[in-house]
């Protein structure tokens, strides 16, 4: 199974074009932060097809923080200097805006969400981990 989830920032404005068969395709670059602050970030080419391509071009822009699920592929690019380079490419299956979480201090605890009557309270029920 080829399934990859990446979180990052869109670096380039998504570019929409059409194949000769009039199938939409959107391409953009995604910057992925390193694991540690001192690690360099990486860039991955992201593509999407069809209706997804048109929706991404309308709804997402450079500097948006996103989470993308898709298939990872490798392409070989031949340079005019005579050498070949392999590049990763992610084909979008799903895309989401990444929520920016605000930090809270000990003096200002985060407000608790009201409990839904249909959901049991964690204080009175067993915590179930879904995996």
Q: Is residue 65 part of a domain?
A: yes
CATH no. for residue 53?
2.40.50.140
Q: Is residue 126 part of a domain?
A: no
Look at the chain and report how many structural domains it folds into. Answer: 1
Q: Is residue 12 part of a domain?
A: yes
Q: Is residue 67 part of a domain?
A: yes
User: pLDDT digit of tens for each residue in the chain (131 aa)?
Assistant: 789 999 999 999 999 999 999 999 999 999 999 888 899 999 999 999 999 999 999 999 999 999 999 999 998 989 899 999 898 999 999 999 987 655 444 444 444 444 444 444 434 344 444 54
Q: Is residue 115 part of a domain?
A: no
Which domain range does residue 58 map to?
A: 4-97
Give CA–CA dist 87/45, Å, rounded.
8
> Secondary structure of 16-44 in the HEC alphabet?
EEECCCCCEEEEEEEEECCCCCCCCCEEE
Phi, psi of 10 (to 5 degrees): -70, 125
Q: Is residue 33 part of a domain?
A: yes
Per-residue pLDDT at 99: 75
Per-residue pLDDT at 112: 47
Q: Do residues 69 and 4 make contact, with C-beta atoms less than 8 angstroms apart?
A: yes
Per-residue pLDDT at 57: 95
Per-residue pLDDT at 35: 86
Q: Do residues 44 and 68 make contact, with C-beta atoms less than 8 angstroms apart?
A: no
* Joined tokens for residue 41: 């970030």
């Amino acid at each position: 199974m080829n399934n990859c989830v990446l979180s990052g920032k869109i670096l380039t404005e998504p570019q929409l074009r059409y194949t000769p068969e009039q199938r939409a395709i959107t391409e953009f670059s995604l910057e992925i932060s390193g694991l540690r602050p001192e690690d360099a970030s990486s860039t991955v080419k992201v593509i999407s097809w069809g209706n997804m391509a048109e929706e991404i071009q309308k709804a997402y822009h450079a500097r948006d923080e996103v989470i993308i699920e898709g298939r990872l592929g490798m392409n070989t690019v031949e340079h005019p200097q005579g050498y070949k380079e392999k590049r990763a490419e992610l084909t979008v299956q799903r895309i989401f805006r990444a929520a920016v979480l605000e930090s809270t201090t000990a003096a200002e605890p985060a407000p608790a969400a009201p409990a839904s009557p249909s959901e049991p309270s964690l204080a009175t029920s067993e915590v179930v981990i879904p995996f």
